[in-house]
Amino acid sequence: MVGVFAKIIISLYFITVILILGYTVSQFLLFLSYYFKKRKTFTFDAQYLPFVTIQLPIYNEKYVVEDLLRNIVEIDYPSEKLEIQVLDDSTDDSLALTEKLIMELRATGIDIKHIHRSKRVHFKAGALREGLNTAKGEFIAIFDADFLPQKDWLLKTVGYFINPKIGVVQARWQHTNRYFSILTRVQAMALDHHFSIEQQGRNTQNDFINFNGTAGIWRKECILDAGNWEGDTLTEDLDLSYRAQIKKWQFVYLEDLETPSELPVAMSAIRSQQFRWNKGGAENLVKNLPKVLKAKDLNLKTKVQAVAHLLNSSVFLWVFLLTLLSVPLSYAAQLEPKFSQILVVGTLLKLNIVLLGLVFYLTYRKFQSNKWRHIPNFIGQFLVFFPVILSLSFHNSMAVLEAYFGIKSDFVRTPKFNLKSNQSQWKSNQYLNKKIGLNVLIELFLAIFFAFGVFLDFKMENYMLMPFHGILVVGYLYIVIKSIND
């Protein structure tokens, strides 16, 4: 019986290692595409100035709504060809503040409308869809509440739509509070990877990319042709992106066009954002993977990368299972010595960390500093990033499992803070979730569990797994402490 237990543990561990390795290989191929493949060129006509509707979906945004509106009305574009829709689902005192600001701006001659829904049906997707019903624009630019596009943002994007096959132009996010804390630095590092290696890498080799929910502009015809916004997933942006690209609409990704935005600074805000992104990603896997596989006019390479893309959030489930199995693995390998070489395989596969570090360092050099003397800064960020992302695997796995089992949940939007400097205070933000959830208690248990793993490694003399378990202890304790203190 004990031998059977050991074989099961080792087999499951090996399967998770192979799954993660397959995902890593797909990321490495994107890395090669990003750095060595020639960028796609798209036709751009600066004289092409069609009618544009800017949509601003907001929900209880009292801290940022004024900056948002005053920034948007300063966008440089012919006023007779520009309409602004404020899609306001707010239920608190920010509703009156927004209405007052809009009345003030409308009095100056700006075409700005306040669209308020009493029922938040289908959340952001529902608001966008309702606004689209009355939008006058041939093109729809979308900005979340904390995004402050530059004045010439529209002038740098609409010209690509001279090509009738272009359905979306997506800009890169820039983080105004990147250096606010170690947590914001870590988030920025992860997003830099997404907005360079993943988005640009896929776009360069004609594979599917995704609209990122904000800082992008859609052709209205593309939205309607793809079936319009749907609220059956928490990431309506990824959903519509896939339905549009299956319909052969092309996407343009502009890595050099930055759109300033704010990163969440509280662990509770990071949790809600991560949960929504990862659950929505898994919901899209369930919804859109069959469509991708059945599409007859997609080549095999595009399908493989699309599968890897849709599996992004599911990787957290594999990682969590891998970490969980690694503790009994120490014991199982002793029971079945002939299988103990699996520890060596696992250790060799952890060289993926080196590859991951290389990829992240190259994006660090591009977006933060290319000076050699700043390498210690990068190492410090990465040494925090790695245990944090590993330890969020439990939280994100629960999101993925909810999606797999069809459990529906509300669209919990990420609180905005409007941080003007690194000294800004934010803990009094009324939108923060102050409750200590069950997940935090489970994560505390996991920290103890992996501490036991360190003890077991020492006792069984499996020193190859000891650093890995030590990293997990540090990571879980860090996110538990931050969750309590925030």
- Which residue numbers are catalytic? 89, 237
Which residues are CB-neighbours of 32 under 8 A, at least 6 positions away? none
Q: Which of 466, 399, 348, 457 is nearest to 18 (CA)?
A: 348
State the CB neighbour count (10 A cutoff) for residue 485: 9
- Eight-state DSSP code of residue 373: G
Supply φ then ψ for residue 5, to 5 degrees.
Answer: -60, -45
- As a whole number of angstroms, the distance between CA 327 and CA 9 comes to 10
Contact 105/76 with Cβ under 8 angstroms? no
Contact 288/242 with Cβ under 8 angstroms? yes
**Token pair of 104, please?**
């003030």
Bridge-based pairing state of the strands 82-88 and 52-58: parallel
Handedness of CA 194, 195, 201, 207 (dihedral sign): positive
- What DSSP letter does each residue of 100-147 carry, written as one string? HHHHHHHTTT--EEEEE-SS-TTHHHHHHHHHHHH---SEEEE--TT-
- As a whole number of angstroms, the distance between CA 17 and CA 229 comes to 37
- As a whole number of angstroms, the distance between CA 320 and CA 439 comes to 14
State the CB neighbour count (10 A cutoff) for residue 112: 22
Helix, strand, coil tally for the chain in percent (to 5): 60, 10, 30
Bridge-based pairing state of the strands 139-142 and 52-58: parallel
- As a whole number of angstroms, the distance between CA 37 and CA 27 comes to 15
**Token pair of 364, please?**
């660090």
Integer angstrom CA distances of residue 49 from 138, 140, 277, 452: 10, 13, 34, 64
Which residues are CB-neighbours of 428 under 8 A, at least 6 positions away? none
**Token pair of 80, please?**
């007779």
Which residues are CB-neighbours of 346 under 8 A, at least 6 positions away? 13, 17, 326, 329, 464, 465
